[in-house]
A and B are shown apart, each in its own frame.
Chain A
Amino acid sequence: MRPLRVALRRLAGVFTKHRADPDLTEELQAHLEMETAEHVRRGLAPDEARRQALLASGGLTQAAEAVRDQRGLPWIESAVADMRYAIRALRRSPAFTTVVVLTLALGIGANTAIFSVVHGVLLKPLPHEGGDRLVYLRHSMDGPGGASLAFSVPEVRDFRTGAPALAGIAEYSSWTVTLQRDQGAERVPVGLVTGNYFDVMGLSPVRGRLTRPSDDGAGVPPVMVLTYGGWLKRFGGDAAIVGKQLRVDGQSVTVIGVLQPAPFFPDRPEALLNMVISEHHTSSYMVEGRTHRMTEVVARLAPAATLALARAEVAAVATRIQAEFKDAYDPGSHHRIAVIPFREVLGERARLTVWLLMGAAAFVLIIAAANVANLTLMRGVRREQELAVRAALGAGVARLRRLLLVENLALAFLGALLGVVLAVFGVQLLTSLVERYSPRANEIRLDAVVLTFTVVLATTVALLLSFLASLPREGGLAPWILAGAHRLTGGWSKQRLQRGLVVVQIAVSVVLLAGAGLLTRTMIRLSEVRTGLRTEEVLAIDVPLLTPQEILFNPGADASAKERYDRMRDEIRALPGVVDVGIGYPIPLRSSEVRFDVKVDGKPLGVGEAMPRAEFRLANPEYFHAAGMTLVSGRPFATTDRRGGGRVVIINQTLADRLFPDQDPLGNRIAWTGDVLRFTPISPEWRTIVGVVANTQDGGLDAKPTAVVFHPYAQELALSGTLVIRADSGVAHLTAAATRVVRRIAPTAPIDEILTIAQIKDQSVSPRRLNAALIASFGMLAVLIAAVGIAGVLGFAVSARTPEIGIRMSLGADRGRVQRMVLAEGGLLLGIGLAVGVAGAFFAARVIRGLLFGVEPHDPTTFVGVGVLMAVIGIVACWIPALRASRIDPAITMRSL
């Protein structure tokens, strides 16, 4: 305890010793006088007595100093003194300080904000207990919709028995339920899970309990666990919700608990229920159907198992079942199963974008730090006199170095402080961007790890800046003192470092600009993509009238649903301004989740040829006109295409090209095929092609159009219904009136979405746009800082060379020649920087290839544009100091030499 006590008192002494000083003086004085008095008493003359006393004291000042050192902490005191000095020095040059602090604040702020995203979304350990042992199994194959197939229950059983490296396998099935509440019906995305789910995932409840294996099977009561997000969103975090009964899909369900905050994949459920809520999930279709793939699988590695072992075992199982069940695995489609750490799969979609932003931010910081370094170097040269004086007064090299360090630390931390304030706002913006890509966006925080990163960043910058300044080696101060007293050093040779930094700035700016250019061109290309639909004045209202339960098990419900859809169509059609109303499934410009294999009558599949697949969509006769889709050939659906009539379909151009490359598709017959059809209400009958429509960009503007088969909405089950309303103007104003119609006809039905087609289109590109805008603003920022950097360094060179230029001019050099001289200096730096930057940009473009659309990574237009832009800005930046150089008056200069 004692050393601590001493340390605390000494620390307190650092701040209080000045107050105690009169005390000390008085004490020492008292000592001196008592001793003098004693000497006098022994018979010395007063003067001699005092002299003797002083002699014995060893010096009052030295004693006071020694006491002060004992009282406080000498090194802290000199640091405090350095700090005071640094702050004073910075206050004396407010312009320098402001520029440096702002520059660093931008650089450090951007990096802090984006690092918080990298950390929250990609690096941070999962909130799941033992989350690094969780793996996600991905089943994929070639062809549309083949990227993520999910698993069937029999397949999961195969892994349970065949892959002991997976200690527990949790099953999760995406589902949507309708929640009846006092304020109306709500569609809620949920997950149906097995009882072992939470145990395998390592998740705990924050309220109540979670489901367990006893909740599995058919004869149990349905229960619901709210996810943390769902609890907040639907019930405002009401703690009393646990134990309550909710009306879900017409059944009474007990809320048993609230789950801790946790990310999900691939979708974001608001609640998790046991399987019993869905008759389908406990039916033999689901439990026995090998091709009925509706289950996502996350597994926990067994304690001793490695990822490699799990992969090997899973691959062995896959090989065995593919050999055993040939019908379930079309060899031409290449089924494969990947075992991926769960954390990786959660960050999968965000990874490239987030690292791209991190890279861009790092570049901005490099440019900013280079600029600050240049400013510091220039200021350092101007300060050589001052430092020389300080050296002459006895400050050692170490002390001078420390002084610079303290000053740079002060600058860097002021910058960091302001940067963190900027980051607070940046994080909000970034979170809304990353939300589209990552289920972990709500884990983004400016937490201790991120702030540590910021502190390390600021300290690194300060250290680099301090060691850039040229101080002589220890012991080499003497010549420097002599020289520094009367000479400002600023010759060309000394500027090599500064010029190097300018080249770096230009190069990095070019890389950033090229990235911004490519992403902007991507945006332009995307906006030029034709959706295949009319985007103006078209409104879509998605109203699912039937629950999945009713669609699958209650055929009678379909007729009444269609009758209500027709009434909605008729009434909305009568609203003023409405041109046409179509009914279809699903929402236009969005992919249909329902996809099956297709076969053609009389055209068997070639050997090894992959099974063609297509999306299942519904349309009524008015749909194509209302949505503004182009009929390439044939006819639209007619009112005569009804149940009981001849089965007809309309296919899109992609499917027509795929199935009938050199033949007119009209009149041919196609049918859905595959084992999986058994589990659906969709029949495998032959259907005659009566029309071909142009492609629409349902998978996103950057996706290849997929094959689509439209069915007459009257001939199939109404899986859901989307009203497509086309108006002659102001379609957005129709929203309220159309909603009233829907509410009146179907008061208990949830309205999933009301959007204009333009909004749907915009949604599919807005993350990209924000991304491009961020990179572009980083790019502009970089160029701005770099331009200031070039102008600053050249300007400084000019002022350092004023005498030389003066002499040149008095010897006959004209203004143009001086200007050219300075411009050539700048042009050389610009040229090297551009060359290095273009080379770097070629490399960087290859890295971001995955984010580009319609633009080659080495797009010449972008590269030339960026080069020209950078050159123009660079030349302007050189021109200012060049003009200044040419205005130097030789007469004045010569006199001041």
Chain B
Amino acid sequence: MTAKLDVQQGTLALMILRTLDVLGPLHGYGVARRIEETSKNRLTLNYGTLYPALVKLEQEGVVTAEWRQSENNRRAKYYALTGAGRKQLARETRDWQRTAELIAAFLAPRRGEEAP
């Protein structure tokens, strides 16, 4: 079994934004499921991590929340990206990719060294 990882605050926000971008308006449970599935269950999100992050994004004005009927007729709070959210997502995605490339290049195995 793969070890479970803790999510870093900044990365969680990015994951939430990306999820909402791909799937459209979604409730907290949906966001959590999607992130866990995408991570192949290497990440688990407890409520105390997820919901404060959602509140923070709402305070920043990058997501909005509204109460709606869910697919199985239950009232749930749906989060949706705002225009500012989309911009932030694009910017952060670009930043992350650059950082990832940089780190990857940095940590590339030296010649003659075994890949880890």
Contact = CB atoms under 8 A, between A and B. Distances in A.
Contact of A67 (B55, B61, B70): B55
Contacts of B49: 58, 66
A370 B59 CA distance: 48
Contacts of A28: 47, 51
A464 interface: no
Contacts of A59: 46-48
Given A30-B74, A30-B76, A70-B55, A35 B29 contact: yes
Given A5-B61, A67-B55, A69-B52, A27 B77 contact: yes
A49 to B, nearest CB: 14
A31 interface: yes
Nearest to A3: B60
Given A2-B60, A6-B56, A70-B55, A30 B77 contact: yes
B48 A62 contact: yes
Contacts, number: 75
A34 B76 contact: yes
A528 interface: no
A56 interface: yes
Contacts of B28: 27, 30-31
A56 B44 contact: yes
A33 B27 CA distance: 13
Interface string B51-76: 11001100111000000001010111
Interface in B4-41: 27-29, 32-33
A57 B47 CA distance: 5
Nearest to A12: B59
B76 A70 contact: no
A30 B75 CA distance: 8
A687 interface: no
B59 A58 contact: no
Nearest to B52: A70
A31 B29 contact: yes
Contacts of A35: 29
Nearest to A31: B29
Contact of B74 (A34, A58, A67, A71): A34
Contact of A33 (B48, B56, B74): B74
Contact of B60 (A6, A34, A37, A58): A6
Contacts of A51: none
Interface residues of B, number: 23
Contacts of A56: 44, 46
Contacts of B61: 2, 5
A581 B49 CA distance: 101
A60 B75 contact: no
B47 A58 contact: yes
Given A5-B59, A30-B76, A67 B29 contact: no
A30 B72 CA distance: 12
Contact of A66 (B32, B51, B60, B70): B51
Looking at B29, B47, B49, which has the most chain A CB atoms within 10 Å of its CB? B47
A30 B29 contact: yes
B75 A26 contact: yes
Given A26-B75, A30-B76, A30-B77, A10 B59 contact: yes
A71 B75 contact: no
Nearest to A55: B46
Interface in A222-275: none
B59 A27 contact: no
Contacts of A62: 48
Contacts of A421: none
A9 interface: yes
A9 B59 contact: yes
Interface string A328-343: 0000000000000000
A71 B55 CA distance: 7
Nearest to A63: B47
Nearest to A23: B77
19 contacts: A2-B60, A2-B61, A30-B27, A30-B76, A31-B32, A31-B47, A34-B29, A35-B29, A57-B47, A58-B48, A59-B46, A59-B48, A60-B47, A63-B46, A63-B47, A63-B48, A66-B49, A70-B55, A70-B59
Given A24-B51, A31-B29, A34-B70, 9 more contacts: A2-B60, A9-B59, A27-B76, A28-B47, A34-B74, A57-B47, A69-B52, A70-B56, A71-B59
Closest 5 CB pairs of A and B: A58-B46, A63-B47, A70-B52, A63-B48, A66-B48
Interface of A: 2, 5-6, 9-10, 23-24, 26-28, 30-31, 33-35, 37-38, 56-60, 62-63, 65-67, 69-71
